[in-house]
Structure 1
Amino acid sequence: MTAANFSPAISGIGRHGFVAEHGLHTADQQSAAVEVAEQIDRLGIRTVRMVVVDQHGTPRAKFLSPHAAIAGLSNGIDFSGAIYSMDSANFLFPPAFAPGGGLGIEEFTGFPDVVIVPDPTTFRVLPWADSTAWILCDAYFSNGRPVPLDPRHILRTQVKRLAEQNLTYVTGLEVEFYITRRVTPAIGLHDTTQPPAPLAVEPFQFGYQYLSEVRLDSVNETVTALRDGLIGIGLPPRSIEDEWGPGQLEISFSPMVGLDSADAMLLFRSAVKQICARQGLHATFMCKPPLPNFFASGWHLHASLADASGANVFRSEENVLSETGLGYLAGQLAHAPAMAAFANPTVNGYSRLAPYSFAPDRISWAVENRGSLVRVQGGPGDPGTHLENRIGEPAANPYLFLAADLAAGRDGITRGLTPPPSVAGDPYTADAVALPATLLDAVAELDKDPLYRDEFGPEFLDSYQMMKRAEYARFEAARGGAEDPDTAAAEWQLREYFEFY
């Protein structure tokens, strides 16, 4: 019996017919599921990684046999709901066995499994893993309701609401990260009351010469492995550059639409980590590891909107932006304090939002100015005109960052908001409102802004704020009880984020 003609009814995976029962696949996905089953058989795939994204933007997975994977396409796959109760150190932040799982969500009572449903349109074969494929999944409760904490569901909802206006979200990724060299194996036991100690690493020896051909060529073996691996999974890099820090790279991609950019960011980060690990290296998307001579890394989100014909509706023949583009920009600025909680979800990320850091420290916009929060690229008559949101750190959950940006822009357009005058000079001396200085400040701003509660739902917002407040409380406890608070703060951030992200 081949994998392709295996009957899902006898698989023991999920619940027979779950996907069809609740109408969870579109016609395109139904067709893709048939093709995926055939590909698994034809390509000799022996392992299929079923991946679901958690609220941190981290891929969680089960590795399935080909028979089980094909059954999962129609039955769904049981998956522990515990991932939605875990903070960035994998500690449980709510009282898990309280009613509603401590999250106020009835279906989480009793710490149950959820059902993850594969999206067959995301099928990839991983060139660095033998006979292995990868599929991204969406999370549902056993009653067929989408898990409200599933970030992919949140972004999909935003994209659908935009589509009701006959518009498409077009985004491009520009992401910085670090590669370090492992000097000890990542094995052994640790105190389970504390996050594991960070990997022992040393800088990957290139950097300090921005955009240097010679420096980048000195690590050509790794750069080539990343290039080939990303091309192999359908994510060809548009550019690869070296940045200032030791082992710091930037990779950018051509524009994508809708969910595609967020799916790409999730797969990109995971792929980079896996490819580097196979070379004895460790890649981290932590914003600013507290290591010697390390600069902060950012994630610049480039965005525009297209109409039904594919035309860029931010383009204006006479002005730098159309009225629609100005409305979107005004929404980004109006909701930037609350958006920071999604764009910079770690304690560490706020170290980047400082004067003269090439990252924003206040809420402003400008044309072609890298110190502003939103940088307009393009101009009158330019079909490539778009907005570059420079607030984000590379550890941000891609679904939540994109959803937050899109919800803010949509709100600006809907309400006809007008942005303040653009900054013509130094954006770090502009008379403008400061961005939140800490994660706790950003969560407080999120609590004050009704937009995201309305757009993302109260169940998600309450859970997210609870999780981030608990994370910050652990940081404060580690710092407050130390003889040297600054050293303790740096050590906590390294333990918390360096390997996790």
Structure 2
Amino acid sequence: MYSRSWSPVHTEGGAGRPAFAVELGLWSAEQAAAAEQIEAHLEEVDLVRLVFCDPHGLARSKTLTAQTFRTVLRGGMDFSPGPFLFDTGHAVAVDFLGDPGVGVPEIAGAGNFVLVPDPLTFQMLPGREPRTAWVLGDEFLRDGTPHPLSARNVLRQVCAQYAARRWSAVVGLEVEWYLTRRLPGEAGNAGNGFGLQGAAPVVEALNAGYQFNSDSAYDSVSPVTDPLAMLLLELGLPLRSMEHESGPGQIETTFNPMGALEAADAMLMFRTLTKQTCARSGHHASFMSLPGVEGFDPSGWHLHQSVREEQGGGSLFAAGGPGGGISAQGRAYVEGLLARARDFCLLSVPTVNGYRRLGSGFALSPTRVGWSFEDRSVMVRVVGGRGSTHIENRVGEPSANPYLAIAAQLFAGLEGLTASVGASAAPQTQTETQNAQDARGAEGGWGALPQSLGEALEAFRGGQGPQLLGKPLASCLTKLKESELARFQAWQEARRRAGHQEGGAVTDWEQREYFASY
């Protein structure tokens, strides 16, 4: 029987151009050495997922054959800017057919950008057949300039500011999320489209919940979470613990401290592969802050952070003396976080749904800008003592873009450190302030956190967003969030006119918008 013999024309596989990364000096010596190691073992790989993080914090990818990736490794891969242009419901928020209005002419007409693999992130996915690797990429314009809309580059630049002062930022991840069982039903495509999300997955809880840290409650989810834990360890992620939180099937996952960029990469991989792994067994994992499922409690993302000196490795936050506490530099860092809390809240809590958690109905969720030692009701909690002193910011929702959320924290903290602003009324030792909030926060000097996406957007517009993100990304993110909010408000208005009263429950709009994607 006749069988066609395919003879492909070699056109660099959609690459920016041959040796793009090398010619333009985009790699460090360490990355170049890692690339050589990858090339030497590509015969052991079938497929490669080339991934980047969009402004919403979602992983976007192309799956390449190993043969294609051999060229793409150094040449880069052409990608559409679509993920920069669509809001959370896939509505076009940035006008790419006219003037995009974000200061990036290259995206007019939806022109491609070049995604260059970061060889240091190349990772085989355990237990996959075909043999599949995952690698993160960095976004570039065709002249080799970092793409102005790249979230990963924002964090890389902030880390460079620390390195210039011989400091390194250390980040620990503490993430709450929900594990449910997927029930039979439609795929959710009915009524779906650009800006019109279909039905959310139909699920059931795995247990009744509300037995905090119950071993039996954890055991009921362990057939899913234990294999997941082993997968994360095989991937080399520094998993610390899996535990059962308060809500039905609510899991808290913690990781040991990492460098800031490494932590953001880990968060993206953890969320993405957790959703995929759970789905393969008929379950649904969601990092939506408060899913619209009866009896669920909000999930948060607590970001642990400290700063160390590169030489000697000592923590800048550790206070001397037997009383422990936090150093003057640590207090200055905290001051920076408080000063920019409202400006940057959008980057830690980027969805309509996330602001439900910051309301007064949840005792352990922060509502005001303030800090204290070992107090879980405040925004910033100082944890540990002596050499282990670090900061825990409790404001974030688990679906936030990890690069932008972490960059905002480090940027604000660095402002405090470099301005040498230590509050005179700030706590000096843990003993002096046990269970007490910082004086300025308690008196309302720092004010309340934003209570809605609209309020957070207003604070972001008037704050230091462009200084951190650059004007193009700040403008793009504003457009994306304005589109998301406008669609929610239009839905609310249509419901009101139809005579519906939503009350305080999570709306169907939120469930459709976030439960599947996040």
Find the aligned partners of 1:39 and 1:304 in 2 and give their Cα distance. 37
Tell me which residue corresponds to 2:6. none
Tell me which residue corresponds to 1:494. 511
Q: Aligned match of 1:313 in 316, 341, 345? A: 316
Q: Aligned match of 2:476 in 463, 484, 498? A: 463
Find the aligned partners of 1:77 and 1:485 in 2 and give their Cα distance. 49
**SS at structure 2 position matched to 1:412:** helix
Alpha-carbon distance, 1:189 to partner:
3.6
**SS at structure 1 position matched to 2:507:** helix
**SS at structure 1 position matched to 2:72:** helix
Tell me which residue corresponds to 2:458. 444
| Alignment partner of 1:430 is 2:442 | yes
**SS at structure 2 position matched to 1:336:** coil
Do the aligned residues in 2 keep the contact of 1:475 with 1:489 (CA within 8 Å)?
A: no
Structure 1 residues 188 and 207, CA gap change in structure 2 (3 angstroms): closer
Find the aligned partners of 2:369 and 2:346 in 1 and give their Cα distance. 15
Find the aligned partners of 1:10 and 1:395 in 2 and give their Cα distance. 36
- CA shift digits 1:416-461 (9 cap, x unpaired): 22235356546599332111110111111112223x3222211111
In the TM superposition, what are the counterparts of 1:196-345 in structure 2 within 5 Å? Answer: 196-205=198-207, 207-308=209-310, 309-318=312-321, 320-345=325-350
- CA shift digits 1:304-340 (9 cap, x unpaired): 0010121111111035111211110000000001121
Do the aligned residues in 1 keep the contact of 2:290 with 2:506 (CA within 8 Å)?
A: no
Alpha-carbon distance, 1:39 to partner:
2.6
**SS at structure 2 position matched to 1:238:** strand
Q: Which runs of 5+ in 2 are unaligned?
A: 1-8, 428-432
Structure 1 residues 81 and 186, CA gap change in structure 2 (3 angstroms): farther
Alpha-carbon distance, 1:477 to partner:
0.7
**More off after superposition, 472-481 vs 411-420:** 411-420
Structure 1 residues 427 and 475, CA gap change in structure 2 (3 angstroms): farther
Alpha-carbon distance, 1:234 to partner:
0.8
Matched residues, number: 489
What residue identity is the alignment partner of 1:120? Answer: P
Q: Aligned match of 2:418 in 405, 409, 414? A: 414
Find the aligned partners of 1:10 and 1:73 in 2 and give their Cα distance. 11
Find the aligned partners of 2:186 and 2:288 in 1 and give their Cα distance. 18
Find the aligned partners of 2:27 and 2:220 in 1 and give their Cα distance. 47
In the TM superposition, what are the counterparts of 1:327-406 in structure 2 within 5 Å? Answer: 327-355=332-360, 356-379=362-385, 382-406=386-410
In the TM superposition, what are the counterparts of 1:93-132 in structure 2 within 5 Å? Answer: 93-99=93-99, 101-130=100-129, 131-132=131-132
- CA shift digits 1:234-286 (9 cap, x unpaired): 11420111011111000000000130000000000011111101110010000
Structure 1 residues 368 and 189, CA gap change in structure 2 (3 angstroms): closer
- CA shift digits 1:346-371 (9 cap, x unpaired): 01111111334311100110000000
Q: Which runs of 5+ in 1 are unaligned?
A: 1-6
Alpha-carbon distance, 1:185 to partner:
5.2
Find the aligned partners of 2:380 and 2:217 in 1 and give their Cα distance. 31
Structure 1 residues 439 and 188, CA gap change in structure 2 (3 angstroms): closer
Do the aligned residues in 1 keep the contact of 2:16 with 2:142 (CA within 8 Å)?
A: no
What residue identity is the alignment partner of 2:314? Answer: A
Do the aligned residues in 1 keep the contact of 2:307 with 2:316 (CA within 8 Å)?
A: yes
Alpha-carbon distance, 1:220 to partner:
2.0
Do the aligned residues in 1 keep the contact of 2:374 with 2:434 (CA within 8 Å)?
A: no
**More off after superposition, 329-338 vs 221-230:** 221-230
What residue identity is the alignment partner of 1:499? Answer: A
Alpha-carbon distance, 1:23 to partner:
1.1
Tell me which residue corresponds to 1:56. 56
Do the aligned residues in 2 keep the contact of 1:478 with 1:489 (CA within 8 Å)?
A: no
In the TM superposition, what are the counterparts of 1:72-91 in structure 2 within 5 Å? Answer: 72-91=72-91
Tell me which residue corresponds to 1:3. none
- CA shift digits 1:163-221 (9 cap, x unpaired): 11110000100000001111125636432251121111111225221101112112221
Tell me which residue corresponds to 1:4. none
Q: Once the two structures are aligned, what percentage of the paired residues are identical?
A: 38
Do the aligned residues in 1 keep the contact of 2:188 with 2:199 (CA within 8 Å)?
A: no
Q: TM-score, normalised by structure 1?
A: 0.94
What residue identity is the alignment partner of 2:308? Answer: A
**SS at structure 2 position matched to 1:481:** helix
Find the aligned partners of 2:29 and 2:461 in 1 and give their Cα distance. 39
- CA shift digits 1:7-43 (9 cap, x unpaired): 99854533112112221111100000011122322xx
Tell me which residue corresponds to 1:92. 92
Structure 1 residues 421 and 354, CA gap change in structure 2 (3 angstroms): farther
Do the aligned residues in 2 keep the contact of 1:358 with 1:371 (CA within 8 Å)?
A: yes
Do the aligned residues in 2 keep the contact of 1:299 with 1:394 (CA within 8 Å)?
A: yes
**SS at structure 1 position matched to 2:421:** coil
Do the aligned residues in 1 keep the contact of 2:138 with 2:152 (CA within 8 Å)?
A: yes
Find the aligned partners of 2:165 and 2:296 in 1 and give their Cα distance. 44
RMSD (CA atoms):
1.9
**SS at structure 2 position matched to 1:477:** helix
What residue identity is the alignment partner of 2:102? Answer: L
- CA shift digits 1:45-101 (9 cap, x unpaired): 1110000110011000000000111211110001111110011111111222113x3
| Alignment partner of 1:38 is 2:51 | no
Find the aligned partners of 2:40 and 2:263 in 1 and give their Cα distance. 27
Structure 1 residues 377 and 189, CA gap change in structure 2 (3 angstroms): closer
**SS at structure 1 position matched to 2:239:** coil
Q: TM-score, normalised by structure 2?
A: 0.91
Structure 1 residues 149 and 36, CA gap change in structure 2 (3 angstroms): same
What residue identity is the alignment partner of 2:333? Answer: Y
What residue identity is the alignment partner of 2:337? Answer: Q
Find the aligned partners of 2:341 and 2:10 in 1 and give their Cα distance. 47
Do the aligned residues in 2 keep the contact of 1:8 with 1:75 (CA within 8 Å)?
A: no
